[in-house]
Structure 1
Amino acid sequence: MLYINGEWRNAYSNETMDVINPATGEVIAQVASGGSRETKEAIAAADAAFQEWKNTTAFDRAQYMKKVSELMRERAEDLAKTITMEMGKPINEARREVNSAINYNDWFLEEAKRVYGETVPASHQDKHLMVLREPVGVTAAITPWNFPLSMITRKISPAIAAGCTVIIKPAPATPLSAIKLFECFHDAGLPAGVVNLVIGPAEEIGSELTKSPIVRKLTFTGSTAVGKKLLRDSADTVKKVSMELGGHAPFIVFRDADLDLAVNSAVMTKFVNNGQTCICTNRIYVEESIAEEFGEKFAAKAKALRVGNGLNEEVQVGPLISEQSLKKVESHVQDALAHNGKLLCGGKRYESEGLNGYFYEPTVINYANEEMKIATEETFGPVAPIFSFSSEEEVIEKANQTNYGLAAYCFTKDLGKAFRMMKALEYGIVGINDPAPIVVQAPFGGYKESGIGREGGRSGILEYVEEKFVSIGGL
């Protein structure tokens, strides 16, 4: 179902889209598939609602959002199962995603009350200078399939907290989580038009959102290639944009690191969500003297991971999202082996009785080199290449030698080295001896072609406001 102007509805065409469980290949639902006409109506509804919503007090907006969080908590298990069924991640990871989604909403409902203005010291005695922060306006949010719930609240919550109204376009592969979330918005009693949900073809819906002069803000999470297109398409109306795009995270292990911590952390950052995250480890750099030992321990841990349907409580690695994704992983592994990589574990599709989905074995490749596709392209799957290095200067150069700059990880016990790496790595997020540096109270975003703007933390809500300078004279 689509949700426009406070009402659930079908598409005018009555067309639907299949939602497929990637663990089984089965169609688990059919949802309405809208297009240009429905998107225009959603924009109009958001525009009409904005005139009142922007003048609603921050305290009142926070109360609506608080009710949404309460409903999400009540429905947490259903939300988690929905995530697992439509995109495949293990149920325990899905539960953590639900908690993250709630935490973002909780954070921004409090930030709603803290969009402060400023007074500026005047240069003339007869003037009074002020800076006001006002909601940017109607906002379009395009969200990905790999975190189909938390990526929505990370965008929609700061937007409505700031006083904006929103049109959400979720990924076609994972609309069910969005529908479940919008049921919470509806049951929380948000005024009609404040939040709108349009599901359907990306090109048709995206075109309406980018070309509309009513839409003043576009926020997107997805590939860098799509992000660049949306930027070009938004240029004619000079929209405010924020984008969280692709990544190619280096994971650096020095010989003075706690080796077991580094191995366990690499397993976490590589295989969480089956490697389908923008901040997952893409390149593991290990100092030469410990490279063999690290590779053996890491491969043993990877090989022991349990693969299967994410609804099984014991499963640690679920399926890839699609056959296309599976083929990309296969091509990267074949290319790496053709360029003299050594397979330590995995390397083929995972097959087991009762599983008919898009599974690939957790794979570790040693002796990786810069000639491999995997050294520069985002794999988005359970494949870990291990490179070796001999000096701090060398690994810094290799780590930064990419157009991406989202997340990086470094493991060392040397405090001075840690600080040097922190400064030298050209990434928006750096985890030093920390495989999970993402928290709701801190900004999330990247350098270079990994994005524009920040989500989360204090910065997150400021992406949805404009600054208005006011000078009052004749005092």
Structure 2
Amino acid sequence: MKYYQCYIDNQWCDALSGERLAIDNPATGEIIAEVPACSAEDAERALQSAEKARVSWGLLPAVERANYLYRICDGLQAERDHFARLLVLEQGKTLAEAGFEVDDTIRYMRYAAEAARRIQGEILPADAPNEQLFIHRVPYGVTLGICAYNYPLALIGRKLGPALIAGNVMILKPHESTPVTGSEFCRLVEQAGLPAGVVNLVTGTGPELGQKLVESPITKMISVTGSIRAGQAIAAAASANLAALSLELGGNAPFIVLDDADIDAAVEAAVVARFANAGQVCICNESVLVAEAVADEFTEKLLARAAQVRLADPMSNSGMGPVSTASSLQRIESMVSRSLSEGAELAMGGKRGEGYQFGRGHWYEPTVLLNARAESEAVRDELFGPVLPVVRIEGYEEALSITNARPDGLSAYLWTRNPSIYMDAIRRLETGTIFLNKGIVGYVNGYHNGHKLSGLGGEDGVHGLEGYLQKRTVYMAY
């Protein structure tokens, strides 16, 4: 077991109380690390450090800020294998998936650094002679990055890169179950030589630590990846100071398969998206809505393909790893149980892992539920685990009605060869992302955002960078 400290004002430190949190390995349940259990007092230290750093960092030319990001990326690349293994140990994804996460982190941060010469203002004609109208884009100052447990390293890169290149400083608050890679990331920040206070990292729980960070008048912008419930609580807590918000929250993505779909391609995409990272991907398909005319063929092929996904040691790269937390495992079990009582039929899986290797830790078998109803819990609510319910539908309009009736709207998948339908869906599907005849993917130059309860603002691309900048209008007479 190793102890990983917090990083405040370019100093490695413990919680002032001396208390610690234990971090377990999802595959074995064994304690692998400890981190400081920070409190409001520790949050204040980080806030004061960030406040001291914000002005000088914001005045630094963007290309100089970019050079620091490039150095962090070089450090990540040099230690790719080390960070991949840490992700496996604390989060549970397979080693291959962990390697891709390190690569994505580098990609997010390099893209942000490359934007240093693309931060643009506007010059507009004035109404009077000898006047000029400018709109400048300027940083917020102190920002807060709150990260979920499913991608503990990539979410840091996704938030910190654009925040710093825009001229903000950032306090990182990793999820309490996956803080280890965040602490190790700050070792690379230290090696890159960033000025004190530009990046601070504190570890602990939401009530003890997060609330203080969110409610502080020093915090001017908050970027959150998490559940809808967490996002609502953070938005309420930040409202007193009217902090700017970027909330990338949960969703319940339908995987819609119509009667003219490429069934083989759709089956492959459905299985990959559902069971990647043990189903813990915010934009993965949470349920299948399949047209009655092709439901038998799709279901038969889906079960055959899903049966190839097996529990396996995540270091072996041969199967699916565990879910990340004990509470997630309990939630998944309960939701499946209630959905079965509501009429869904268990086609495969449906229980915790068994035996010496899988009886410990947080293992849940790849699971498929057939003949589920749209209103059953496993279809209605976000499972965030390796469970795929299948709902039979009449066709496109019913799928559209089911999708748009939900209070969330993060993503949706649609498989059809009919251009009239998919063009209509672009206008009418109430989700932030639509995958048309396409499996799960995310490009750094896209935009990752949700509609309705799935969030405000978003990440990635030029629009994600824009979220870390506020506008300042100047009326100038000369």
TM-score, with length taken from structure 1: 0.98
Is 2:154 the partner of 1:150? yes
Q: How far 1:401 moved relative to its partner?
A: 1.5
Q: 1:76 aligns with which of 55, 67, 80?
A: 80
Distance across 2 between alignment mates of 1:47 and 1:453: 24
Q: How does 1:151-170 map to 2 (within 5 A)?
A: 151-170=155-174
Q: Is the 8 A contact 1:143 1:170 kept in 2?
A: yes
2:222 is matched by which residue type in structure 1?
L
Is 2:337 the partner of 1:334? yes
Is 2:65 the partner of 1:46? no
Q: Is the 8 A contact 2:292 2:395 kept in 1?
A: no
| 1:368-427 Cα shifts (integer Å, max 9, x gaps) | 103411121111111111111112211111121211100111111222222112222110
Match of 1:127 in 2: 131
Q: How far 1:313 moved relative to its partner?
A: 2.3
Comparing 123-132 with 101-110, which one deviates more in the overlay?
123-132
Q: 2:269 aligns with which of 265, 269, 293?
A: 265
Distance across 2 between alignment mates of 1:185 and 1:114: 24
Distance across 2 between alignment mates of 1:436 and 1:406: 13
Gaps of 5+ in 2: none
Distance across 2 between alignment mates of 1:391 and 1:259: 15
Is 2:453 the partner of 1:449? yes
Q: How does 1:198-277 map to 2 (within 5 A)?
A: 198-277=202-281
| 1:73-92 Cα shifts (integer Å, max 9, x gaps) | 00111111111110101111
Distance across 1 between alignment mates of 2:273 and 2:317: 20
Distance across 1 between alignment mates of 2:20 and 2:117: 40
Is 2:331 the partner of 1:325? no
Q: How far 1:352 moved relative to its partner?
A: 3.2
Distance across 2 between alignment mates of 1:330 and 1:11: 35
Distance across 2 between alignment mates of 1:367 and 1:261: 22
Q: How does 1:54-453 map to 2 (within 5 A)?
A: 54-314=58-318, 316-355=319-358, 356-453=360-457
Q: Is the 8 A contact 1:303 1:346 kept in 2?
A: no
Q: Is the 8 A contact 1:430 1:437 kept in 2?
A: no
Q: Is the 8 A contact 1:10 1:32 kept in 2?
A: yes
Distance across 2 between alignment mates of 1:210 and 1:381: 28
| 1:55-111 Cα shifts (integer Å, max 9, x gaps) | 111110011100111100001111111111101011111111111111000000011
2:143 is matched by which residue type in structure 1?
T
Match of 1:29 in 2: 33
| 1:4-62 Cα shifts (integer Å, max 9, x gaps) | 01111112222111110010000011112211111101111111111110011111001
Q: Is the 8 A contact 1:266 1:435 kept in 2?
A: yes
Q: 1:6 aligns with which of 6, 10, 14?
A: 10
Q: Is the 8 A contact 1:143 1:151 kept in 2?
A: yes
Q: How far 1:349 moved relative to its partner?
A: 1.3
1:321 is matched by which residue type in structure 2?
S
2:55 is matched by which residue type in structure 1?
Q
Q: Is the 8 A contact 2:68 2:193 kept in 1?
A: yes
Q: How far 1:354 moved relative to its partner?
A: 2.5
Distance across 2 between alignment mates of 1:41 and 1:328: 35
| 1:298-348 Cα shifts (integer Å, max 9, x gaps) | 11211221212211121x211112222112111222222212212211111
Secondary structure of the residue aligned to 2:459 is: coil
| 1:233-267 Cα shifts (integer Å, max 9, x gaps) | 11111111111011100100111111110000000
Distance across 2 between alignment mates of 1:390 and 1:211: 48
2:240 is matched by which residue type in structure 1?
D
Comparing 32-41 with 84-93, which one deviates more in the overlay?
32-41
Distance across 1 between alignment mates of 2:289 and 2:149: 29
Secondary structure of the residue aligned to 1:242 is: strand
Q: Is the 8 A contact 1:429 1:437 kept in 2?
A: no
Q: Is the 8 A contact 1:88 1:309 kept in 2?
A: no
Distance across 2 between alignment mates of 1:437 and 1:92: 16
Q: How far 1:124 moved relative to its partner?
A: 1.5
1:196 is matched by which residue type in structure 2?
N
Q: Is the 8 A contact 1:117 1:133 kept in 2?
A: yes
Q: Is the 8 A contact 2:38 2:208 kept in 1?
A: no
Distance across 2 between alignment mates of 1:67 and 1:267: 37
Is 2:467 the partner of 1:463? yes
Distance across 1 between alignment mates of 2:221 and 2:31: 34
Residues matched between the structures, number: 473
Secondary structure of the residue aligned to 1:386 is: strand
Gaps of 5+ in 1: none
